[in-house]
Amino acid sequence: MFLFAGLGNPGEQYRRNRHNVGFMAADAIHYKHRFSPWRKRFQGYSAEGEIAGEKILLLKPQTYMNDSGLAVGAAQKFFKIALAGIVVFHDEIDLPPAKMRAKIGGGNAGQNGLRSISAHCGNDYARVRIGVGHPGDRNLVSRWVLSDFAKAEQSWVETMCEAISDAAEYLVKHKLEDFQNRVHLALEKSGVLKSS
């Protein structure tokens, strides 16, 4: 069994924030793969479904970003999910907008949601890092991630989330590089990314 956790902050006022792109990716997976209805559980919203023949628990922690590990840890313990079965979707300021990287473990680069999950679960889980860009001044980072995506960014955000949901089977096959390539190809095909 896998645990897919999209990170964000609960509440309507945060819904379109850059910090909530993990929730957006989770919603796209939920829709595309026809998961069960969301229900309140594990200090978050969870839904169950199947991708590539594997059972998936999809989770949107409602603890606020900095305490995401409380929800992820509770779900992991309940279902006895191995660390290798956890995939976390989150915003990444060190990547340009519309870029995405997938990796296992590594540093948390100031991302407090990851820090909390590592504290509760361990560090060697998969991270899908969705680039939201950097405001250019570290003093502006908090305001930047807690502000909404601009109207002009909506198309790449939607394309990114759709591409992630389309390529999710590669996550359950532990083929992170293939997953990453599929997402980038979809973004290039849509014109969101220039082919390199």
CA atoms within 13 A of residue 110's CA, in its CB half-sphere: 9
Cα-Cα end-to-end distance for the chain:
36
Rounded alpha-carbon distances, angstroms, from residue 125 to 5, 13, 15, 21: 11, 29, 25, 19
Handedness of CA 131, 135, 141, 146 (dihedral sign): negative
* 33 tagged catalytic: no
Gap between the Cα atoms of 89 and 28, Å rounded: 12
Across 41-53, b (16+ Cβ under 10 Å) vs e yields: ebbbbbbebebee
* DSSP-derived secondary structure letter, 18: G
Gap between the Cα atoms of 161 and 29, Å rounded: 8
Contact (CB, 8 A) for 99 and 91: no
Gap between the Cα atoms of 66 and 116, Å rounded: 6
* Catalytic residue list: 19
